[in-house]
Chain A
Amino acid sequence: MTYVDGNAIAGLLREVFDEELTAAVSTCGTCGEVAVVAELRVYLRCPGAVVRCPRCGAVLVRIAEIRGLHVVDLGGLRDLARA
């Protein structure tokens, strides 16, 4: 399945976190890869958005809208730091 990147969810992240996060720096909880959010792999053709590590492919973030609520799982991240 084809992926895009974190730029594609700039608006969604703004909606959920109320701030600009594409330039924030993430650390993968599985392999330790450090990457800006804009460079993460994003899969949109699923229920919600799935964000994966560009190095090891681990799921970092999942965001789905369920009955008007955003359900957010950040469990794959070790760290997320503002730019």
Chain B
Amino acid sequence: MADVVDIVHETSRVRTILLDVPDWPGHHAGQHVDVRLTAEDGYQAQRSYSIASAPEDERVAITVEELADGEVSPYLVGELRVGDGLELRGPVGGWFVWDVSDGGPLLLVGGGSGVVPLRAMVRHRVAAASDVPVRLLVSSRTLDDAIYRAELDGLAARGDGLEVVHTLSREQPAGWTGRTGRIDRELLAEVAWPGTENPLAFVCGPTGLVEAVASGLVDLGYGAGRVKTERFGPTG
């Protein structure tokens, strides 16, 4: 049983839940935990959430987006309070993981809350003082939906090899000079490392985005084994 020690309001529908987990064995950036809720009548529902914190961070964190018809996410976003307990198992997953020793150059592509495991990778790179070049491309519906935007832009501003590119697919604020629209081949060709540099890519988001980006990267000359993907669906 983990204890909720803090809750961070990321966007109107997204919270980061910081946890104190007794006997946490450590994790790799990109892994998840399974969260299980049990109702008073014994009914159980379980969901998998990416770990948002770096292995080096003091607290284990998950970031949860509330999905309207979800069974678990409305509770985690709307009801959970500091001091509550949370049943979780993990860390799990051994494929969609990155350690600084895996090197790069690294391309990270996230759609919506698909940025969560990528944020763990970015924080891991910072904590490990790695100089692996990283480009992070994040697609959000609106600027207000861009999770961790201040943190990621702040890290990019240090100018130590992390570049962050946002694209807003649905609505842009007045004066927005960044990218607009979904991640298409044109944007990928512009932002992604050339395939000749033998980059390593991690792509996480809704299934449609992941399929489009993964095939776009293979077309750009990325080795199929160098593009790691994680798809999530509408079950929350």
Residues of chain A touching chain B, judged by Cβ–Cβ distance below 8 Å, are 2-8, 10-11, 14-15, 20, 22-23, 36-39, 44-45, 83
| Contact pick for B94, options A8, A22, A39, CB 8 Å | A22
Tell which of B48, B92, B207, B228 has the most Cβ of chain A within 10 Å: B92
Q: Does B148 contact A (CB under 8 A)?
A: no
Most B CB contacts (10 A, CB to CB) among A8, A23, A37 go to: A8
Q: Kindly list chain B residues whose C-beta atoms are within 8 Å of the C-beta of A20.
A: 92-94
Residues of B within 8 A of A (CB): 32-34, 46, 48, 89-90, 92-96, 207, 228-235
Rounded to whole Å, the gap between the CB of A20 and the closest CB of chain B is 4
Check if B207 sits within 8 Å of A38, measured CB to CB.
no
**Cβ of A36: which chain B residues have Cβ within 8 Å of it?**
95
Interface contacts beyond A22-B94, A83-B94: sample of 5 additional A-B pairs, CB < 8 Å, sorted by A:
A11-B33, A11-B48, A20-B92, A38-B93, A38-B95
> Which of chain A's residues have a CB closer than 8 A to the CB of B92?
10-11, 14, 20, 22
Residues of chain B with a CB closer than 8 A to A23's CB: 94-95
Contacts of A37 in B (CB 8 A): 95
Asked if B232 and A11 sit within 8 Å, CB to CB, the answer is no
**Beta-carbon contact of B93 and A5 below 8 Å:** no
| Given A20-B94, A23-B95, A38-B95: A10 in contact with B231 (beta carbons within 8 A) | no
Q: Which of A4, A6, A44 has the most CB of B within 10 A?
A: A4
Q: Report the bound CA distance from A10 to B50 in whole Å.
A: 11
Q: How far is the CA of A45 from the CA of B228 in the complex (A)?
A: 24
